[in-house]
Structure 1
């Protein structure tokens, strides 16, 4: 159930009054309960004091000799047992001794009964506790559970007051049922509650009338004016939002186009920058190529000089080889002469052998006289044999040496002639190739010079293009920034229009809520 503003204000007024009333009733209950209980206790004390007057009067009659103590006790107990008080005259007194035994009580069955082990429903030895209070203080209150005065099978709390008479060792007591006190308090609370309810009813009607005249009707009028204003704001915000959306769409398209143009310019700038870098690199490479070509030309010139030196050295080697062959030929002639002399030695050895043989023959003829000559002849023959053998060996060695020297001279001459011929061919071929390389390198150096010139021109042009494109790029970036600023302004304006539109809708919702609060139901 939705409450209208009048009901809410009424609740705001009534609820504190109700809370105050509850606090008042609780406070009234507490205070009334304490006051009433205090009055009841005072009344109990007054009743007991009255009963004690009866006892003291009978004790005085005993003292005066008018009555015996036994007679006085009997008359006093009867008098106290017959005392009744209260609204319905149902409240009574009792008397018990310190034993404890019941001396006087409306229930005749209790008179003279031993009460030492008498307990209430809570297990409390009430009469023994009364004796303890009497001995300790002479008087006092005690709470216990006792049978109800109407329904004897029902046990309820009871408050009693006891007073001790030391001369007769009597304890006089009387009590009230606590539920009687609670009943009295409840009646008082009901009366107060009825009064508060009457006041509250009057207050509700008065507040309702004030709310209707001074709050509800002015609120409805204000809500109507707010609703009309919010409708106008919503309409204006919607129109502004549509214009902002169109302008934002146009700005975004322009920004996208500028972005594409900027990207293209940046790509062109990057490409020109790469071309400039490539031109610089090509220029450096060309310079390095020119340097390498110059070094190559220098090496070719050095190689030509070296080839000329090799050619001259080959001629010197040929002359040396010819001189060596001539010297070897002279050595060969000497060896041949030695071979001839060796033949002469062989002839001498042969003649020595022949003479030795003839000497041996002559020694044999001489007999004993020729024995010594025979020994000498034999020795000369042996020496001739050895010389012949050595001569043969020398001749054999010389013949072998001549053969080998002739072979070496022939082979060396053939090989040297071939090497010299091939060397001359290689030197001539190398010289021709070197000449060709020199011509090619000269052309390369000339071409590299031309390339360096062109590369320098390309590099300068690339730098100029890069500078121009960089200026174009800066201009495009500035345009892009301006476009972004405009786009942000449009976006912020659109956002503000949406917020205004949203706030207008919220204002309409607030107006509806105000109307709902006033009427008590959701406004449509």
Structure 2
């Protein structure tokens, strides 16, 4: 660094600041992305917890003797099967052996879904049950969307949690491709801001660097001229109030001493 020109050192400083800004933008994008997805999963968790509360309500009626075990489960399953929320959300449920017990579609009711895989090989039904048993959690997988070609798959996220008294895991999931659109929009906005700041920063850096390096070069040339005993050259930038101005004043002072020495030499020659 000691051997670098001041202009190059200033450019290096600007580069470091720009890199730091880019890193800050990256973490801001990641923070926004996490926030967007967390909001969606929080909504899913709220729906699942509502379903768990419904199961618990019927379980309490079973414990009190108001309903038999079979009747309590049948009524609870019916309520959960009819639950809906926006956008196109519903509740599904499995027992701890991944047998499907609750779903608006009766196609797979009573079937073992442990071997069900998504379009990329994820055993998502099994994972939903495992995470539910272990305290609740998120599962992401890829699935077809109604009305879209079978060759297209879309990101889907689910949250699952267990109701231990009946050994049932409830879950709910929604497609999340709309969130990818939001994240991409946030990324492009951040990149645009970063680009504008970068261009403005480079422009400002060039302006200020030129404001330093050009006067320094001028004073350096004047100092070289004074060293060659040029007493006629005008010393530039002596009016500046910064370090460059001090250097210019010192050069002017040196020039004045050279001028005095020349005058003394001329007087001595005349004698």
| TM-score of the superposed pair, with normalisation by structure 2 | 0.60
Q: Is the 8 A contact 1:84 1:90 kept in 2?
A: yes
Q: Is the 8 A contact 1:10 1:208 kept in 2?
A: no
Write 1 or 2 for the structure with the bigger share of strand. 2
Identify the residue that residue 46 of structure 2 maps to in structure 1.
46
Does residue 147 of structure 1 match 2:159? no
Structure 2 CA distance, aligned partners of 1:82 and 1:195? 47
Identify the residue that residue 125 of structure 1 maps to in structure 2.
123
Structure 2 CA distance, aligned partners of 1:144 and 1:77? 25
Aligned length: 224
Identify the residue that residue 206 of structure 1 maps to in structure 2.
204
Structure 1 CA distance, aligned partners of 2:16 and 2:145? 41
Q: Is the 8 A contact 1:147 1:156 kept in 2?
A: yes
Write 1 or 2 for the structure with the bigger share of helix. 1
Structure 2 CA distance, aligned partners of 1:200 and 1:47? 44
Q: Is the 8 A contact 1:160 1:173 kept in 2?
A: yes
- 1:179-194 to 2 correspondences below 5 Å: 182-194=180-192
- Structure 1, residues 189-227: CA drift from partner, whole Å, max 9, x if none? 344344444444443443343344443355357558869
- Structure 1, residues 9-45: CA drift from partner, whole Å, max 9, x if none? 8854543233112211233344444555555554443
Larger Rg: 1
Identify the residue that residue 470 of structure 1 maps to in structure 2.
none
- Structure 1, residues 215-268: CA drift from partner, whole Å, max 9, x if none? 3355357558869999x9xxxxxxxxxxxxxxxxxxxxxxxxxxxxxxxxxxxx
User: Gaps (5+ residues) in structure 2?
Assistant: 231-271
SS at match of 2:91: strand
| TM-score of the superposed pair, with normalisation by structure 1 | 0.35
- Structure 1, residues 413-471: CA drift from partner, whole Å, max 9, x if none? xxxxxxxxxxxxxxxxxxxxxxxxxxxxxxxxxxxxxxxxxxxxxxxxxxxxxxxxxxx
Identify the residue that residue 22 of structure 1 maps to in structure 2.
22
Structure 2 CA distance, aligned partners of 1:134 and 1:8? 59
Does residue 163 of structure 1 match 2:161? yes
Q: Is the 8 A contact 2:36 2:179 kept in 1?
A: yes
Structure 2 CA distance, aligned partners of 1:128 and 1:213? 67
RMSD of aligned C-alpha atoms?
4.2
Change (3 A) 1:29 1:213: closer
Structure 1 CA distance, aligned partners of 2:93 and 2:15? 54
Structure 1 CA distance, aligned partners of 2:191 and 2:8? 24
Structure 2 CA distance, aligned partners of 1:224 and 1:106? 88
